[in-house]
Amino acid sequence: MIQLRVYGLIVLALASGCSRSVPEAEGVVDKPAVAVEALNVTSGMLNRSIEGSGTISGINEAFVVAETQGIIRSVRFELGDSVKKGQLLVKVDDEIARLNMEQAEQAYETAQMNRDVAEQLALDGTASKAESVKAASAYKGAKAAYEAAQKAYEDCSVRSPIAGYIAQKEATATVGNYLAAGSRVARVVDISSLKLEIALGEREISFIAEGAAAQVRVPAACREKVFDATVHAIAAGADPATGSFAVVLTWPNTCDKRIKSGMSANVSIETNKEEPVVLVPASAIIESDGRDAVITAVKKRAAIKYVRVGRKIGNKAEILEGLGENETIVISGLTSLSKGDKVDISVMGDSGEWQ
């Protein structure tokens, strides 16, 4: 009896030791929850405004070009001067031009008298019609010669074609220099109003129209001001070199000379009004089985939802199908998540307002 009890104890001890080496449960242990950021899916405007930048120019800018040649006798402007339309800037030696004009004027007056006499004689019958026609032709020729000589004389005075400020003065515009015909003398800019040209892509250009309101900031001058501008013109076609579309904005200059032609400016253009659409960050869209998809959080687990994506602007993407409002979309840790993973979400806001 004692021997049997010993054997029994040994068997129980062996059985007890073996039971500790067997797992308590079958299957794979659940991974811990992954901390992720998420957004509530909502609708919003795909693009409330379009941002851009460019270089300011005056509403009118003109190069002053000499139409005559000769020695410069006087220069009557300096860099930065305010000038009026027609104001004298450079005077070229005009002595020969003046003599030619006076001679042409005398010939013109003589031809005019001869024409008048010939016409009267023709009316009286004492001169032929041919003589009258010949005198009239001589008159026209003399008139044309006089007008040409008069213009040549006037061209010796180089004047500003527009009102504005002198933005550039050529080195050749110096007393004593020889000025050749076609030479630039100065550049005049009219900054009473300003314009700005920016380039937009084909996805952005459809959101704006002529007359749209815009706001312009000039960091280098009048930085405290926001100028109310208007879309003045939109290119009908793209630039073949860049594929972008030119957009011109204009606005009145309320900072006077503090703003210079050539300064940089930032612009925000209001877009066309449209119906709100379901929006998500473009960075939240992944590829799954060759299709566009997003990761949503359903009962604290990651789920794959296939979506049809519409337009994209910046980091915003329009969802046409597959996702509705009030769902929760994951926006971080996307590459480390798999379907069914536990997620510990932190909701950061609404997708329709997310930047």
Task: Find the distance separating the first CA and the last CA of the chain, reported in whole Å.
Answer: 85
Q: Which CATH number describes the domain made up of 34-45+275-353?
A: 2.40.420.20
Q: What is the mean pLDDT of residues 164-169?
A: 96
Q: How many residues does the chain have?
A: 355
Q: Residue 24's pLDDT is what?
A: 38
| pLDDT higher than threshold 70 for residue 218 | yes
Residue 48 CB: number of other CB atoms within 10 A?
Answer: 11
Contact by Cβ (8 Å): 266, 216: yes
Q: What is the mean pLDDT of residues 90-116?
A: 95
Hey, what amino acid is at 80?
Answer: G
| pLDDT higher than threshold 60 for residue 148 | yes
- Residue of 188, 210, 323 lying closest to 261 (CA atoms): 188
Whole-number percent of the chain with pLDDT over 70:
92
Half-sphere exposure of residue 95: CA atoms within 13 angstroms, side-chain side: 4
Residue 57 φ then ψ, to 5°: -140, 160
- Residue of 242, 260, 250, 270 lying closest to 197 (CA atoms): 250
Hey, what amino acid is at 26?
Answer: E
- Whole-angstrom distance, CA of residue 22 vs CA of residue 26: 10
Contact by Cβ (8 Å): 189, 163: no
Q: Where in the chain is the domain with CATH 1.10.287?
A: 94-155
Which residue has better confidence, 313 or 98? 98
- Whole-angstrom distance, CA of residue 57 vs CA of residue 59: 6
- Whole-angstrom distance, CA of residue 240 vs CA of residue 54: 19
Q: Residue 14's pLDDT is what?
A: 37
Angle at 293 between CA 290 and CA 299, to 5 degrees: 135
Q: What is 50-59+191-270's CATH superfamily?
A: Efflux pump adaptor protein, beta barrel domain (2.40.30.170)
Contact by Cβ (8 Å): 83, 159: no
Q: Where in the chain is the domain with CATH 2.40.30.170?
A: 50-59+191-270
Angle at 36 between CA 34 and CA 38, to 5 degrees: 145
- Whole-angstrom distance, CA of residue 307 vs CA of residue 296: 12
Q: Where in the chain is the domain with CATH 2.40.420.20?
A: 34-45+275-353
Contact by Cβ (8 Å): 39, 336: no
Listing DSSP states for 207-258 in one string gives T--TT-EEEEE-TTS-TT--EEEEEEEE-SS--TTT--EEEEEEEE-SSGGG
- Whole-angstrom distance, CA of residue 231 vs CA of residue 249: 4
* Mean of pLDDT over the chain: 88
> How many Å separate Cα 106 from the centre of its chain?
57
List, in sequence order, every residue forming a beta bridge with 217; answer none if it has no partner: 266
The correct answer on CATH 3.40.640 for the domain covering 94-155 is no
Q: Residue 281's pLDDT is what?
A: 94
List, in sequence order, every residue forming a beta bridge with 187; answer none if it has no partner: 63, 168
Q: What is the mean pLDDT of residues 133-159?
A: 95
Contact by Cβ (8 Å): 101, 146: yes
| pLDDT higher than threshold 60 for residue 54 | yes
Q: Residue 175's pLDDT is what?
A: 96
Whole-number percent of the chain with pLDDT over 90:
71
Name the DSSP class of 26: -
Classified as helix, coil or strand, 14 is helix
Q: Residue 15's pLDDT is what?
A: 41
